Amino acid sequence: MPYKFTATTDYISSEQKIKTLISFAVKEEKKGNDDNRVLFLKLGVVLLVTRFQVYVERVLDEFNYELKNTNKLNSQLPLHLRLYSIKLHSERKAIQSELKDPTTFNPTKLQSVKSMVSLLSEFCDDAIAIHPELKIDTKFPLGKQGLNELKGLFKQIEGKDIFETAKFDINKLNEILNRRHNIIHEDANDQLTEIKVKEYKVFIAVVVKYIDKYLAKILK
């Protein structure tokens, strides 16, 4: 099945690594090496979550690049995305910060403010093409990679929880994220099994394909 984004294709291909770790766990169980079996299962969960988080950042970065190369007009973009981009630009280079110190007022300062105002004005103009500096956040907040942060990254686009109408329960992701957290910070086992890791792998793949389909729809 073809996917819109290279990040999605790469993620689906990387699932083989999880399958390999599960198969190693099965082999260790047959040998009676339960410690090694559990180790491979733990590695499978950690790798699965890490790969998913990397995927989210990569696919958003790819989406942002593709969007700016669609030759769409601003009017064809979701309004929320346009305003969110303005928000990001305004926060990262605020006009009020430029004008905070009157002793720095000079022609160069005026030109700087003109550039900032011009950029924001272009984002607001329905009739012109998407600006090359259109921005969305493509990274999880530092130290925060939970379900709320995931929803927040995609909320930038249309201002809604894109998983709310999905045919799967995105809240299951919390179970997987908590499992990874417990493995890393407490070396916890919690009766981890091959079946459970396979279940996690299948669920994450469903989420990844859903994200790919959603973002592809926005690009149309």
Write out pLDDT tens, residues 136-177: 999 999 888 999 999 999 999 999 999 999 999 999 999 999
pLDDT of residue 217: 96
Stretch 118-122: mean pLDDT: 91
Q: Chain-wide mean pLDDT for the chain?
A: 94
The Cα 49–Cα 184 span in angstroms is 12
Confidence of residue 6 (pLDDT cuts 50, 70, 90): very high
Sign of CA dihedral 92, 95, 97, 98: positive
Written as six digits, the tokens of 53 are 């988080």
pTM of the full structure: 0.92
Residue 179 vs residues 48, 136, 144, 182, 201: alpha-carbon distances, Å: 11, 30, 16, 5, 13
Say if CB 184 and CB 46 are below 8 A apart: yes
The kind and range of the H/E element at 218 are helix 194-219
Sign of CA dihedral 72, 210, 54, 179: positive
Those residues whose C-beta lies under 8 Å from the C-beta of residue 170, and which sit 6 or more positions away, are 147, 151, 163, 207
The Cα 36–Cα 213 span in angstroms is 38
Q: Token match 């990254």: residue?
A: 153
Confidence check: pLDDT of 77 > 70: yes
Q: What are the boundaries of each domain within the chain?
A: 6-68+144-219, 74-124
Confidence check: pLDDT of 1 > 70: no
